[in-house]
Amino acid sequence: MTGPTGVGKTSLLAAMYPHLEKHFPGNGYSLVPEPNTKQLLDELAEKLKKLGEGGTKVTDKQIAGTPQAQEFNFDLVYDNGDTRVTDVNLQIWDIPGAFCTSNNGLQAQEYLRGSDVSFWCIDSVALMKGNNEAVNAPTTMANVIANSKLNKGHSVCLVLMRSETWEHNGKMGDLFTQLRHQFGSAAATLHGNPNIGKVYYCSVQTTGNLHFNSYEGTEPVFIRNAAGAGYAPKHCELPVLCAVRQSLESVIEAARREIKRIIDECFPFTRRCPLMPGHFSYKRNKGLAERLAKRLAQVSKDVERCLQAEEKSQRLFRW
């Protein structure tokens, strides 16, 4: 999770996880936060909900960030009624904005090292109201990510935070046009890193009902939807689905290597003859590895279909 201070990184995590807990697009699969992560996210989600249910005028920038990097862990759990097993672990680091924008981003690069996916959070209000360079620091952020030692095939998802105003007014096209215009050079910098594969962009609504009204000094002021809509985050799961899809590619490849290792390390006669010592163990280990690879391949297809549907509906784009 990258981005300058105050753009809404922690808010994105707080808003997205309840959706994925209930509606993960994989047959028999769910994305479950580990106990410590769940406790922290429950607390953050409650703060976000109160913000979305508060007074008419809101000056808070969603949830206050953290001065230290925070770790969030999720398990991709398979449960078909007979078998319940964790197939994949997903670790997300919420990196403080100061780590990204000071000292050439060296602290942020330590967390990005060896990662499969990065979420780059962008303040939509600053983008649309002329404060983009000062608030979002596109050149600095692009260099931080592109200069990191990333895993091959690393995906980047640019996430437009607080997009409620433009979706409510039917001006999402304007928002995406401005993003492509203001971040064109940054996207080129990302694509210049040979380890970066897909670059996505999307918008999210972390409350669903707070719309930008004006600035008080340097702080944006939000007001409640005139229709009186309650707290209702939208599209917050899209970046995490991109992350899961990318991570699954790595895990599936590892599972296939494991199958090959099991076959290669077993003496040919042991593999072929049921009476040979070790044959049962070989069959069992190979069968477990093959079932895992098959399950992961299927859930990867399920997530990919979901992402393709979001692209078709023009909520998620590839740059």
Claim to verify: residue 149 and residue 37 sit in the same structural domain: yes
List the strands of the sheet with 316-318, edge to edge: 117-123, 154-161, 196-203, 316-318
The parent domain of residue 198 ranges over 9-235
pLDDT value at position 282? Answer: 92
The number of domains in the chain is 2
Mean pLDDT, rounded, of the chain: 87
Claim to verify: residue 117 and residue 143 sit in the same structural domain: yes
Claim to verify: residue 161 and residue 264 sit in the same structural domain: no
Residue 31 belongs to some domain of the structure: yes
Claim to verify: residue 265 and residue 229 sit in the same structural domain: no
Residue 1 belongs to some domain of the structure: no
Report angle CA 162, 151, 294 to the nearest 5 degrees.
Answer: 90
pLDDT value at position 208? Answer: 80
Question: Which pLDDT band holds residue 55 (cuts at 50, 70, 90)?
Answer: low
pLDDT digits (tens, 9 = 90+) for 123-146: 999 999 989 999 999 999 999 999
CA–CA separation, 266 and 271 (whole Å): 6
Claim to verify: residue 35 and residue 117 sit in the same structural domain: yes
> Would you say 78 and 84 are in contact if contact means Cβ atoms under 8 Å apart?
yes
Which of 235, 269, 290 represents a domain boundary (last residue)?
235
The values of phi and psi at residue 219, to 5°, are -95, 130
pLDDT value at position 18? Answer: 76
pTM attached to this predicted model: 0.87
pLDDT value at position 291? Answer: 92
Claim to verify: residue 213 and residue 280 sit in the same structural domain: no
Has residue 51 got a pLDDT over 80?
no
CATH number at residue 98: 3.40.50
Has residue 222 got a pLDDT over 90?
no
Claim to verify: residue 228 and residue 191 sit in the same structural domain: yes
Claim to verify: residue 107 and residue 208 sit in the same structural domain: yes
Residue 183 belongs to some domain of the structure: yes
Helix (H, G, I), strand (E, B) or coil at 188: helix
In percent, the amount of the chain with pLDDT more than 90 equals 53
Which of 235, 268, 294 represents a domain boundary (last residue)?
235
Residue 241 belongs to some domain of the structure: no
Residue 3 belongs to some domain of the structure: no
pLDDT value at position 225? Answer: 64
pLDDT digits (tens, 9 = 90+) for 151-162: 999 999 999 998
pLDDT value at position 242? Answer: 87
Claim to verify: residue 110 and residue 198 sit in the same structural domain: yes
Which token pair is 303? 């997530």
| Other beta carbons within 10 Å of 184 | 12
Which token pair is 16? 């997205």
CA–CA separation, 192 and 211 (whole Å): 36
Has residue 107 got a pLDDT over 80?
yes
Has residue 290 got a pLDDT over 70?
yes
pLDDT digits (tens, 9 = 90+) for 232-276: 888 888 888 888 888 888 889 999 999 999 999 988 888 888 888
Supply the DSSP symbol for 218.
Answer: T
Claim to verify: residue 285 and residue 155 sit in the same structural domain: no
pLDDT value at position 256? Answer: 93
CA–CA separation, 63 and 73 (whole Å): 20
CA–CA separation, 239 and 316 (whole Å): 9
Claim to verify: residue 217 and residue 264 sit in the same structural domain: no
pLDDT digits (tens, 9 = 90+) for 70-103: 999 999 999 988 889 999 898 999 999 999 999 9
Which of 180, 205, 235 represents a domain boundary (last residue)?
235
pLDDT value at position 111? Answer: 95
Claim to verify: residue 214 and residue 167 sit in the same structural domain: yes
